[in-house]
Each structure stands twice: as structure tokens, then as C-alpha cells.
Amino acid sequence: MTAVVYRVGVDLGGTNVRAAVVDEKGQIRVAVRTPLAADRSPEAVVALARETIERALADAQLPLSTLLGVGVGVAGQLRGTSGVVANGPNLGWREVPFGRMLSAALARPVRVVNDLEAIAWGEFCYGAARGEKDVLVVCVGTGVGAGLIVDGRLYHGASGVAAELGHVKVRFGGEPCGCGKRGCLEAYLGGGNLNKRLQREAYNWPALLHKTAHDPVAIHPGFVEELVQEGDARARGLWDELAQMLGMVLANAVTTVNPALLVLGGTVLKGCPSLQARTEKVFRELVLEIAGEAVTIKSAALGDDGGILGAAALGPSSS
């Protein structure tokens, strides 16, 4: 039997755990998704993650004995490289030694990284950032986050939370944020928070309410994007307001870090191209000229798979 070289990546989000068997070229051979149960206790999630990994290996016809270890991307703030999830709001976790627990369950090494770090590393290895050494990857999805690659390496920072751009402040004493502070970028741009705002505004914004077929629960930023395209002044005003915040944060981050490449991704930006175009315009106006000359902006290339590919690439391989 010829030896198969493969890696296993896991993506632990707020609703699913996904495991993928990835080959040496970064192609996903098998991917398995398990919805999280109501029981989000660390023990229950570890058992589910183990089961999902075993199913992925079985589907790929690989015996468990060939597994050297796994890389896991977790939506949450980690405590350095210890594998401890310091704060995982979607899971309701505080100070959970997830890496150690999953490693014990699998009897294999486990490397845990932040989900945005995994996405950044996936884009660096296989996607939009291939061939670059200094890259900032920013995703605007349900939350807002970033991963930073400096000189070809993931930059974690002193306590593992470098490049948490979602919690950079854009308004002093502004809207409350899930992190416990106020005025964070994520409080305005994060899809979850933006949806809540749109639901509130829909009641006195007939054009938006109409888009939802009078069901504000169905609201999403794509409706505002449609209104912008149709010339709705209020929608354009909202996108200008949000683009100023995001463009300013990106300009400040690029002025600080001086990357060669800025990769923009996440469902909100993907679904709202005119929000991204406005953001890029603000960014170009504000960024320090010489840092701006050095930076190219690209859209993320891997979409949903970026995180799992990056997590796989960060874990040990079977070779």
C-alpha cells in the first residue's frame, strides 16, 4: 500500500464542527460536518469533534492509526499557544483547555488556533496570499476579525490575540460589543450586530421592510446592498457610514503593519460589493502614502474552506 500524505483540519464554529482530510496540494478529499448539540459543554463538544474526525477518516478510507494529529481553528480568543480557549462567546466557554482535552480524546497532538488565524494561514498556503510574506487578512462576517502574517509566519502577539481588529474602537462610548466594551468595529460591522440594527431600522424604513417581505427576522445586509444599487439614499448613507469605520480601521492597521497584501473576506463583504468598494475608497484616502503604495487589496479566494485548510496546514501531516 502506498503511503498517503494527508492532514486533518477541524473548524469549530458557533453552530457546527467540521473536519476535513486535506491532501498535500491543499485539496479537500473528504469533509464532514456535524451540527453542535444543545449541550455545548467542553466534554460534549470534544466527543463530537472526535466523532467527526473519525467519520472523515473513515470516509477517506484512512485508518485512525495513520493520524498524526490535527489542527483546529476555534471561533474565540485563545490564551497564547496553550490550546486554552479563554473566551468563546458562541460556545459559552471561558478558560477551556480544549487542545489538551481533544488531544487526550484522540491520543494525538492537537494544535489550536483562532479561526481567523486559520483562515489567514489557509489563504497564505493555498489562496489569495500565496507567495506573499507580509499579509493582513480581514474578514467581515458574523463577527469581524483578522489574521496577520509577518515575514511568512503567523503573528500571535504576547497573549495570542494580535490583530483582533473587530475590537478596535471606532466610537468613544459607542454601541456595546460582545467583548464587554463599547464602540468596537464589530459592534457596527459584525453581521450579527448589523442585522439587529437593520431589524430595528426596518420599522421606519419602508423600502427595507418591503425587501424582507415584511418579515424583519429574514433581514440581512444583502438587502441594503440591493437598495444601494437601486439608488436608495438611506442605504447609501448607511454604507458610507460603515465604510468610513471599516476603511479607517484598515488604513490604520496597514499604516501600522505595512503589509504587501490586504485580503478582504467574510460573508458581509462578499455579499455587499459596493460596501467593499466604498471601504477601499476610504482606505486609499486615509492610509499613509508609502504604506498604501506597497499594499495590494485582494478578495479572499477560499471562502468557507479557508479556515479548515489553514487549520489542516497548521497541524502535523502523515508524511
Question: Site residues (CB under 5 A) for Zn ion?
Answer: 167, 177, 179, 184
Residue 176 is given by DSSP the state B
Q: Of 195, 253, 235, nearest to 219 (Cα)? A: 195
Residue length of the chain: 319
CB of 190 to Zn ion, least distance (A): 9
Which amino acid, one-letter code, is at 170?
A: V
Whole-angstrom Cα distance, residue 59 to residue 29? 9
Beta bridge partners of 150: 153
Query: How many Å separate Cα 273 from the centre of its chain?
Result: 18
Alpha helix ranges (H) inside the chain: 42-59, 98-106, 115-126, 185-189, 191-202, 206-211, 221-229, 233-257, 267-271, 273-286, 289-294, 306-314
| Residue 114: partners with Cβ closer than 8 Å, 6 or more residues away | 73, 74, 75, 76, 77, 78, 145, 147, 160, 161
- Which set of grid coordinates corresponds to residue 146? 483578522
Q: Is the dihedral of CA 257, 261, 267, 273 positive or negative?
A: positive
CB of 174 to Zn ion, least distance (A): 10
CA dihedral 255, 259, 265, 268 (to 10 degrees): 0
Whole-angstrom Cα distance, residue 107 to residue 40? 22
